[in-house]
Amino acid sequence: MESNLNVPASAQRKAKPTRNPLGREANVAGWLFVSPMVLGFLALLLGPLLLAFYMSMTDWPLLGEPTFVGLENYQALFHDEEFWTVVGNTFTFAAGLVPMNIVLALGLALLLARKLPGIGIFRTAIFVPVMTSLIVWAIVWKYLFATDTGFINQILQLFGITGPAWLYNTKLAMPVVIVTSVLKNVGLNMVLFIAALQQVPAHLYEAARIDGAGRARQFFRITVPLISPTIFLTTLLTIIGSLKVFGQIYVMTQGGPDGSTKVLVYYIWEKAFKNFEFGYASALAFVLFFIIFVFTLLQWQYRKRWVFHEE
């Protein structure tokens, strides 16, 4: 270094990687290794994202030229009654699904984290729906909830109750979709909770028991605080997932009856790929993006406590 004192500092810094053959090799190798992923990402994710943003500011008919309209699509959203209904439905779905999913997943994890004979069978049974195609799951439940011939109404018939037209009732359709969606995915959160529970050191419970702490006290004073990062993050991930609900709506209700289950992604799909209003649909998609962005920021704040090793 001393012999280089006369050389400007910037040149020294520049010279450094080339002087070290290993460093240069690392640059070439590193970029070669990540280039397919990065190029794919630029062409298939970032590019389309920027284009989508531009599209959201155009009137883009199926045939013909797009015209730039600035923020008109976004302004139109505010006056679109259906948009507000759809946003409301999306939040209703999330608000119904998330607490039910988290509570049930945690409850099941508590029951299944114990080492009891035959516990693997139950774990598997609850995890199997996660493996199933959402579409198959939705089709079967649509069938079970069928009005006259459905399994559930036939069971109710045994007790002399005439079951309602579940999926054709504006008040019942959404709850049915929510419950079946919870059952579909509760297994995944359950597995994550089991993993978290198994990392709670057993000696903490022993100490608490010696101090005379009951089950409930142990749960709220030891279990919950120690697995709280997992609770927090599964909750956020479940919220983000639920804001994107589509498949089960498409199969079970097609957004009906009377728009009572029409959610944001369904509306986007309808506008974009049924009506071919690409500009308006893009604006809708950016609203979804913004909502998810807010929740993702929260998750990002806590990432160190969860998934990734930081160097």
Partner 1 sequence: MKSNRPGKIIGISLNYIVLSVVSLVMLVPFLWMLSTSLKEPAKIFVFPPELIPWPIRLENYTEVLSGTPFHLFYWNSLYIAVLVTVGTVFFASIAGYAFARIPFKGKNLVFLVLLSTMMIPNEVTSIPMFLFMRALGFINTHVPLIVLPIFGAGGIFGVFVMRQFFLGIPKELEEAAMIDGCSRWRIYWSIMLPLAKPAIATLTIFTFLTSWNDFYDPLIFLNDRELMTLPLALSLFTDEAGTAWHHLMSASVMATLPLLIVFFFAQKQFIEGVSMTGMKD
Contact 218, 208 (CB under 8 A): yes
**Residue with Cβ nearer partner 1 (164 or 229):** 229
Q: Which is nearer to partner 1, 183 or 222 (CB)?
A: 183
- CB nearer to partner 1: pick between 68 and 143: 143
* Nearest-angstrom CA–CA distance, 131 and 170: 30
Least CB distance to partner 1 at residue 85 (A): 18
Q: Are 234 and 109 in contact (CB under 8 A)?
A: no
- Nearest to partner 1 of 3, 166 (CB atom): 166
Smaller CB distance to partner 1: residue 8 or 36? Answer: 36
- Is residue 197 within 8 Å of 223, Cβ to Cβ? yes
How much of the chain is in helix, strand and coil states, percent to nearest 5? 75, 0, 25
The distance of closest approach from Cβ of residue 130 to partner 1 in the complex, given in angstroms and rounded to an integer, is 9
Judge contact between 78 and 84, C-beta under 8 A: no
Compute the least distance from the CB of residue 254 to partner 1, in Å: 9
Half-sphere exposure of 206 (CA within 13 A, CB side): 3
Closest distance of CB 152 from partner 1, Å: 10
Cβ at position 76, least distance to partner 1 in Å: 17
End-to-end CA distance of the chain: 29
Q: Cβ distance 53 to 284 under 8 Å?
A: no
Least distance in angstroms from the C-beta of 5 to partner 1: 25
Residue among 232, 198, 180 at smallest CA distance from 123: 198
CB of 224 to partner 1, least distance (A): 16
Nearer to partner 1, 56 or 260 (CB): 56
Cα 85 to Cα 63: distance, rounded to the nearest angstrom: 29
- C-beta of 70 vs 214, nearer to partner 1: 214
DSSP 3-state of 149: coil
Nearest CA to 182 among 99, 244, 106, 125? 99
